[in-house]
Amino acid sequence: MRFLLKCLLLIALCQSTPIKLQAQINAVIPGDFADPSIIKKGNQYYAVGTSSEWAPHFPIFQSANLKNWKQVGYVFDKAPEWTTGSFWAPEYYYHNNTYFIYYSARRKKDNASYIGVATSPYPDRGFKDHGVIIEHSKESIDAFVYNDNGQLYITFKAYGLDGRPIEIMGSKLSADGLKLEGELFTMLKDEKGIGLEGQSFLKKDNYYYMFYSAGNCCGSNCDYNTRIARSKTFKGPYEDYENNPVLKENEDWKCSGHGTFVNTPDHKTYYLYHAYNKQSSVYTGRQGLLAELIWPGTNAWPVFKTETSGTQPANIKDDFKAKMPAVYWQWDFRNSNPVVKQLKGNLHLSGITKEDYLTGIAYTVRPVSTNYEITTTVVNHNDAQKGLVIYGDANAAIGVGTVGNKVEFWMVKDKKRTVLASEGISSAGPVELKLEVQPDFICRVYFKQSQKDWRSLTAAQAPSVNFLPPWDRSPRIGLNFKGSANQEAQFSSFQLINK
């Protein structure tokens, strides 16, 4: 009888308790990596993504299996001369033994976003900029190149069209890939006001298929999704799929969209796209995910059948013993110009910012979680601010650092720098600093000297970092310096541990 009761109890618990049959799908490229474009070279895959206001510009990742990726470089170490910011939506294309990157950026002379092009003999380095290729309407972004029986076409999103809705437009592209030819044509109009962008194309049987994104792309109130339209000619008109959207919010991810396709040696087709993790949301940005595209039959609309899960995000441990800084470091190029050297196991960080930028230099990496700790060791003493930072923008940051004979827990918000807590330290010997962020976005900091235990630097109320994320990108975490031109910070270590 007891055994029977136990069995009945177990059955009741199983019926009343939801069971998650599959673990959460991990991003294949975790952290802020929006608008990804993918290409295959030999037995290697390369992906490039939006960098927005972070330099260097357009990070490039490499993989042998589509699941495990490592960063290998950037398209631009320095911003092209014609640009001022908003480095969005880079698009790979390979033609005539040359790798092309068609990218969106804001132009200096009018602050409008247009499309430029750069080329290289390599997929991961050596790109030479050729300037603006598409200057149309008030804004033109999101380029995609398609070869239709030997004729190259370039497509893009155009808006600000004298009262007309957003349109996906196209043009013939010259054989060298560097200029438009002929008249522009409209392929799809946003008659419903839902937004159109991030288009890519495949041809199957008797149809050209346009995969595009609709909705609000970014921020906590996003409603982005992926849709399909098709036409019997490349130029259109395109008919929307009645079961749109085809990639949308699920249990773990939201706001899925803006991707491109790649074929594998086993004749499968995969879509690399971005989405927000529903737990970490805007704090880790739009991350790179992978889904397989399935064709059910001749002239049948395709479906995204499976999603591929990546490995758990890696921690970072940097002892600065290499000659050059690691490839993952980035900074806000609009508001700072860091000077960085690695010498004898120390990273030397200096540089100045405008007087009203209260945070100083933020030399940062992309977070992949909202539950982590970062640590560093500051080895020099001066009255500059030297330590750790979570950086949202020039006047939105929080951090811990040594300043003279004190260690300070500070916050920059609403153009004001506030010291939340401080404590005296010895002017001799290195100082170790630790900053923790918990899943509820609460931030706590610690310090120690002379091999002693960690001491909490306690604020009256532990602050939240929920004020940090800009609208279109995640905050960054890393090292911080704010001082005069003749000062610097010296660090002997940096570590990021994801919990």
Point out the residues that are catalytic. Answer: 35, 197
- Write the CA distances from 89 to 58, 86, 127, 150, integer angstroms: 9, 10, 16, 25
Q: Are 374 and 459 in contact (CB under 8 A)?
A: no
Q: What is the DSSP string of 270-292?
A: EEEEEEEETTTGGGT-EEEEEEE
Q: What is the DSSP string of 102-123?
A: EEEEEETTT--EEEEEEEESSS
Number of H helices, E strands in the chain: 1, 36
Can you name the residues that pair with 412 across neighbouring β-strands? 397, 417
Largest CA distance in the chain: 84
Query: Look-up: residue for tokens 């290697």?
Result: 44
Q: How many whole angstroms separate alpha carbon 204 and alpha carbon 126?
A: 35
Can you name the residues that pair with 261 across neighbouring β-strands? 271
Q: How many whole angstroms separate alpha carbon 499 and alpha carbon 370?
A: 9
Cβ-based neighbours of 152, under 8 Å, separated by 6 or more = 95, 145, 146, 172, 173, 174, 175, 177
